[in-house]
Chain A
């Protein structure tokens, strides 16, 4: 695998389809599954680690008395992480091959850091769930699969690591894959791609391994390069949360980023929550007049009528209207150290809108602690224009925020039911 980067990649016409796109993916693994080593190997073998970075790792590895450079040090960026030899926080890594650009959210695996995996998975189009071939599917693995299912990560890879320590045996691999498939079914995962690897040695990470002739599938990087990304914008509902109103020469330009679908000049749009309607007279995509705009472009919209539209409102078009709700049901992951309790007064941050709310129910539980996955019912002070999270990861997602100190408390995924 070479990693010669075309210096002019990305300068070609994007609409012609020749420009490279980006895959955002996340990794999760239990302590000692070798996740950081896998990520280090991916970066190292795709030649994304530059000489001075490798030198720094070698220097530090030697100072700790290690023989070979510890590739985990490429991602464990905080002093506490290097000292404890574990990943604590989400680290974002960037690399590119001639076929694609990658943004990797490297997340810790331990249960006390479930919230970090939730964070990494929220923007990922693919999640790599790592298991140790000697241990197979463990409690942590099931939790990672549950998080990926909950966050609706479209593509899952089951990377069975440390194959070198089980003699590269096909039956060991098959046993783990079958075990995981059972859980995937229960969780409603859409499917997954199992790959046998050895991160330490490099088998099936960047290049296909000669030591596992029984495996006919792609190496991990090959799979990452070819998995399809992006949704079908023509089938998504058009959702445009207004971020900011630009006034210039008596004209109002509604600025925002299309959360899903597409908008055209001439489209009839509805403003939520007011319910007023108007027609799009102009679209401007960052300096270009456009007849049509697609998610996730940032743009401005002009309307035929003088309406009272401001930050927090949502413009929608097409037949599938969002649900206007003050009673909100959702799956949640609690993120903050302080617990969330029934009766708590919170702020709900949904798209560009922030409203007050009260926690009515926590799926029967009295409270949720940090890293708990659960279910919530909220009553909001004003209606929200909601989609089911299964339909839209943008307009179906929200955060709960502490009105006192502004802390981010809980991540929510709407269930319209």
Chain B
């Protein structure tokens, strides 16, 4: 009878529950949509998404392609990682290039040099031209308070706009993906994950990450209270002093607005301990774009940002 009592005590650990839910979401999309795509930046959240997708459809291949919105301000380590993963799993990669839009005069560089807000138009146009009907994003509700109100299946009009007051109610695990031609659905399989969950899962699954997530020596300079990496994108200015520090990145985004944090965390276990002890959210610590205003994220989401 011991086996029966062991079963009664059976509950999924929080990581197993999150993994199971994420896989369920991927399979729902595969069952309901014609042309899904996974937004893949080479950041940890998109890497976990891809890992879930690989598990969801094993032993067959992932039935989706990847889409990278390339700001042109990339960390070389991340681009190298992206290309290696794409080749390893035989995936197809689409790139929507902000630089192409600037070169063609369709987008103008902002005075502060930040390109994150410029991603929306290339992303939206790529979705339209490729006729993607479901777009997986790595957004998590714990990241930011506008994201806390986001659905797992989030309907977008042909301009990719998000209207928080017209969201569909989402009950049980019944996701409604019906949409009109030209509309699409943003899908967030990591909605219920926290930053710590992502890292614990990466450790448990032994998922390889770009090296910039771990402590390393880097030449950086300070701007708006963040350590930025020097580069062609426009830093440092004359009054900004470059120095060598031991840092790592908590998030990976556009180089012009993604800051490094001082860190000694060399291994995954170090990183997890550091995050568990941190008194700052990852966006607060590393993202200049969210500090623009109280509603910066809500405004960008309304306009079709991730």
Contacts and interface: CB of A to CB of B under 8 A. Distances in A.
A and B: bona fide binding partners: yes
Interface of A: 4-12, 14-15, 17, 19-22, 50-53, 56, 59-60, 74-80, 82, 88-94, 96, 101, 103, 115-116, 118-119, 122-123, 229-230, 232-234, 243-244, 246-249, 253, 255-257, 262, 284, 286-287, 294, 296-298, 311, 335, 349, 351-352, 393-394, 397-399, 401, 405-408, 411
A408 B176 contact: yes
Contacts, number: 211
A321 B300 CA distance: 49
Given A20-B13, A52-B285, A262-B7, A78 B298 contact: yes
A52 B284 contact: yes
Given A91-B148, A294-B12, A349-B174, 16 more contacts: A6-B276, A10-B14, A14-B12, A20-B13, A52-B281, A60-B294, A91-B145, A91-B149, A118-B171, A229-B11, A257-B20, A257-B173, A296-B20, A397-B174, A405-B178, A406-B176
B141 A394 contact: no
Contact of A119 (B24, B170, B269): B170
Interface string B88-102: 000000000000000
A89 B281 CA distance: 23
Most buried by A among B14, B169, B273: B169
Contacts of A60: 294
A296 B12 contact: yes
A19 B169 CA distance: 32
Contacts of B59: 246, 248-249, 253
Contacts of B4: 234
Interface string B136-156: 000001101110110000010
A249 B56 CA distance: 17
23 contacts: A4-B276, A7-B275, A7-B276, A19-B13, A19-B14, A51-B279, A75-B145, A78-B149, A78-B298, A79-B294, A91-B148, A94-B141, A94-B142, A96-B194, A96-B196, A115-B169, A123-B171, A247-B60, A298-B56, A351-B174, A393-B172, A399-B171, A399-B174
A394 B21 CA distance: 14
A77 B16 contact: no
Given A88-B165, A298-B20, A399-B174, A93 B12 contact: no
Contacts of A246: 57-60
Nearest to A73: B145
Interface in B1-50: 4, 7-17, 19-21, 23-24, 27-28, 30-31
B200 interface: yes
Contact of A51 (B9, B20, B173, B280): B280
Interface string B175-192: 010111000000000011
Given A11-B203, A14-B12, A248-B60, A411 B280 contact: no
A55 to B, nearest CB: 8
A82 B165 CA distance: 14
Contact of A50 (B14, B167, B280): B280
Contact of B273 (A7, A77, A249, A349): A7
Contact of B13 (A10, A335, A397): A10
Contacts of A298: 19-21, 23-24, 27, 56
Contacts of B17: 21-22, 296
A243 B148 CA distance: 27
A141 to B, nearest CB: 22
A352 B172 contact: no
B7 A77 contact: no
A248 B10 CA distance: 32
A21 B10 CA distance: 10
B144 to A, nearest CB: 8
B279 A122 contact: no
A60 B145 CA distance: 14
A294 B7 contact: yes
Contacts of B149: 77-78, 89-92
B204 interface: yes
B55 interface: yes
Given A10-B14, A52-B285, A92 B191 contact: yes
Interface in B193-220: 194, 196-197, 200, 203-204
A406 B275 CA distance: 41
Contacts of A96: 194, 196
Contacts of B60: 246-248, 253
A182 to B, nearest CB: 29
A244 B30 contact: yes
B10 A92 contact: no
B252 to A, nearest CB: 19
Contacts of A405: 178, 180
B168 interface: yes
B272 interface: yes
A72 B261 CA distance: 30
B176 A244 contact: no
Nearest to A104: B148
